[in-house]
Structure 1
Amino acid sequence: MSVVSAREFHRSPSAAKRMAREGPVFVTDRGRLSLVVLDIAEYERLTGAQSLRDALRMDEEIDVEPVVSRDVPGAADL
């Protein structure tokens, strides 16, 4: 378990992500707890939720035809 200030968190979110691999990271704002950063595996364990990775996975193919516009935009009308 780690505690960091909001200032430290904003300065280096990657450090908080590394710390979250070892346990919850509590972020304080003006000395009061404001949020907790958890590793995704820990979140899924605590909530019993379906894996977010599985929920976001697409099981079927989707056909997409890109549309390419040949129009040249005009000048902005300010």
Structure 2
Amino acid sequence: MSTLTSREFNQETGRAKKEALSGPVFITDRGKPSHVLLSYDEYKAVTEKRVTIGEMLSMDGVEDIEFSPSKVTDIAEAAEF
């Protein structure tokens, strides 16, 4: 992970691209993160379609999985103001 100012990014695009191969590069404007540069492979991994819980529960063999959740003992209470 590295951080570049927007000025550094504009002046050193090659460096930013090289650093993005080993992790995200955060680009800042006025000291605050404004953009993130990722390699294409990392971008694909982040945006890939994820499996929903419904799809997981309908998979073959799911009935063979043992699942015994513990009893919930925490009870929500109204906040006092």
Q: Over residues 17-59 of structure 1, what are the superposed CA-to-partner deviations in whole Å (9 max), with x where a residue is unaligned?
A: 000000000000110111000000000001006xxxxxxxxxx
- Identity, in percent, stands at 45
Runs of 4+ with >6 A deviation: none
The match for 2:46 is: 46
TM-score, with length taken from structure 2: 0.59
Q: Give the length in aligned residue pairs.
A: 49
Helix, strand or coil for the counterpart of 2:26? strand
TM-score, with length taken from structure 1: 0.61
Question: Larger Cα Rg: Structure 1 or Structure 2?
Answer: 2
Supply the distance in 2 between the matched residues of 1:46 and 1:13 (Cα, whole angstroms).
22
The answer for unaligned runs of 5 or more in structure 2 is: 50-81
The match for 1:68 is: none
Deviation, structure 1 residue 8: 0.3
The answer for unaligned runs of 5 or more in structure 1 is: 50-78
The match for 1:30 is: 30
